[in-house]
Structure 1
Amino acid sequence: MTVPDHLRAWLAVRDSVPWQPSPSRRGMITPRRDGPVHDIVTRDGPRAARLLAALAQARADAESGAALSFEVLSGWQRHVLGVADVPFRSHPAFAKEGRERYGVSPGLRGEFDRCLAQAHHTGPGLAARAARLYLDVCFFHPFDDGNARCAFLALTFLLAGAGITLDQVAPLRRIPRRAGSSEDALALAELVAILITNTARRGTAMELSTRS
């Protein structure tokens, strides 16, 4: 039995799901803790140092105003994987113990770059764009290894560009999402929005308590 191309299933969902605007928010969010660093240190064991180096690079790229592209992600992946060259995959990729297959086609890398560029566009709100970007990286599966880590870095990069550092990221990294599920896509967007809101609330509460 041939496994269908779940990348195409994702792209159909991506174009049809009713992405919502994020609640309005102004100013930077100062978290009570650096959620990405905390999660990497407590979760990633021997590979934590490489992922922390990639996170630092992603944040530096966000601060410099870099636009997302495969080349930018590849720079992060060189840290993540500890290798000198990270090309775009040339063969079908599999995930979820083989239950999902992401195919290859002519122009796939250019299609991926166009999706990455849309993360910077107005339209859907920031939380929705961050969730969509995360899923783009997961389901395009551009690298032979480390795609979930790269998706996490891409989401962190986009939020950093808006002055946001989440204080908790574990739910983002623990829960698998299905490529053809609009419900999963919308649930991830809602989760990102909740994490942003909760980070802002807890950060503000901490700042108020230190002044009292």
Structure 2
Amino acid sequence: MDTPGLTTDAAGHSHCSWRTSAPEYPRYHDHEWGVPVADDVQLYEKICLEGFQAGMAWITILRKRDSFRQAFDGFDFRRVAQYGEADIERLMQDPGIVRNRAKIVSTINNARRACELVDETGSLARWLWAFEPGPEERPATVDLAYWAANPTSSASVRLSKALKKRGWTFVGPTTMYALMQAMGMVNDHLEGCVCRQQIEDLRRQFKRP
């Protein structure tokens, strides 16, 4: 019998059970979710897509991710920062993305805020990784009950407040916790998932920016 929150594949390897809930998830779960990221463009993309996901299922965003990348110039934030009203209207007519005006406007706003932050501090990655929670803020083990009960953390609250103070939008504590999971700032693969130790190894080897 599978452990709660885990499933076992044909090879006998255990994984987080959400991995099997959509055809796109195995690759995302096994090779992307939780892998540490230090590239500014990739991080801006993750912030934006997590913002678009608010109120929706992540699988919807994942399935549209390539279209989002095409629509937003590969999430090059210096290019997106130059978008104007014509671009907003173009994006509102693009069926490949989530056509939510507030989230589109937020993506452009956040590109401008990202430019300001990079110009001021030199690196979006360095600034974000400064919010990595210390060992005392993380549980010794992670199980389904913990993960379900903790969609935010003290670190994600701090990150959210700091970004909002700088004028970023759609960066609430829950959205920022999802970002922290996705970018490898925390490792929330469940205990028993074969990827958990792999991610721990990557995090140990990762050079913080």
Which TM class, normalised by the smaller chain length? 0.3 to 0.5
Q: TM-score, normalised by structure 1?
A: 0.32
Q: TM-score, normalised by structure 2?
A: 0.33
**Larger relative contact order (C-alpha < 8 A, sep ≥ 6)?**
1
